[in-house]
Amino acid sequence: AEKTEYYLSSDVKLSSEHIEQVKKIVSKVEGKKLGVIGDSITYGSGLTTGDKRWWEYVKDRYGFASVYSNAEIGRAFTQDGMMSTRFTQKIKELPNDLDVIIVFGGVNDRAFNAPIGTMDDEPKEDNQGISFCSALRYTAEYLLTNHPNAQIIFMTPLPCNQGLGFNGKNANGHRLQDYADAIAEMCRSYGFDMVDLNRVGGFYVWSQNWLNTYMEDGIHPNNEGTKIYVHKGILPKLDSILVERT
């Protein structure tokens, strides 16, 4: 029987060459398991009933057999939030049989004024009192040790314009881009693939008119905003990552 054409489920028209590339990925990931761990954007804040979360676009594009999603509002790497437990603890809930793991976070560490530190900081998972790099290193080394056969991908936080503004510094003098840069440095150090959503085009968070249309609260994209970063950032990068690695 003809296989379901998952690669035609996006809202973006693909060239025939691109479709053939995605077909190769589909043939490799069909029957495999995807795990995602994140904060409120992965949870679905900003969306309404019937809207697709970013990882549902990923599942539909490539035909993963299942998706395990572990997401909470306010989750950070460096400390617990009022309604969330930090990444360094929740990664321990990821099933052992995942084939691909995507980690998406960092915006709440900026809000919590987490010091960034350096990649020389010792990996730790303490609640508060550690640097962002320390928590990233703990996350990286835990995943490598406990999921040695999984393909691990990190995504940097989306641009936003809430509280500190679109380019404001927190109490420690760090901009959101600084946290994205730390994730990029960690990925280089450990050899992880990365989707750099912090630099995705088409996110005009400095414009109130744009925010009113795509990201009403300044941090959580709505359905149309989600389509922008999925189709301009996530799927094009995963097309190249998964075709090479799966």
| Cα distances (angstroms) measured from residue 63 to each of 43, 218, 226 | 20, 32, 20
Greater model confidence, 146 or 10: 146
Greater model confidence, 68 or 10: 68
State the burial class of residue 69 (Cβ atoms within 10 Å of its Cβ: 0-12, 13-18, 19+).
Answer: middle
pTM (two decimals): 0.93
Phi, psi (5° rounding) for residue 15?
A: -70, 165
Greater model confidence, 238 or 14: 238
- The tens digit of pLDDT for each residue in 151-170 reads 999 999 999 998 878 789 99
Distance of CA 188 to the CA centre of its chain: 16
pLDDT of residue 3: 45
* Helical segments of 3-52, H only: 16-29, 40-43
pLDDT of residue 11: 58
pLDDT of residue 164: 79
Tokens of residue 222, six digits: 């709505």
pLDDT of residue 166: 79
Q: Has residue 133 got a pLDDT over 50?
A: yes
